[in-house]
Amino acid sequence: MDTRTLQDVAMELTAHERECAVYRDMTRLQLEKLEGRIKRLEVLIMGSTISTVSLVIVVIMKIV
């Protein structure tokens, strides 16, 4: 049988909540870093798409 008192359980729960708060903050920071990287990739993809379309238009104009 469990011999922990209500105070012991409350202390464990407080410690667990503190650890979860740290983990949640770390996760939030990692997600923010990933958002920045994704935005940079989006800009890179848009830029390369515009360049490719422009090049195709220039080549078609020279052929015609």
Rounded distance between C-alpha atoms, residue 1 and residue 27, angstroms: 37
Q: What is the mean pLDDT of residues 34-40?
A: 97
Question: Whole-model pTM?
Answer: 0.62
Q: Work out how many domains the chain is built from and give that number.
A: 1
Boundaries of domain holding 64: 1-64
**Residue matched to tokens 């202390």:** 11
Inform me whether the pLDDT recorded for 42 exceeds 80. yes
Q: How confident is the model at residue 58 (pLDDT cuts 50, 70, 90)?
A: very high
Which residues touch 4 (CB under 8 Å, ≥6 apart)?
Answer: 12
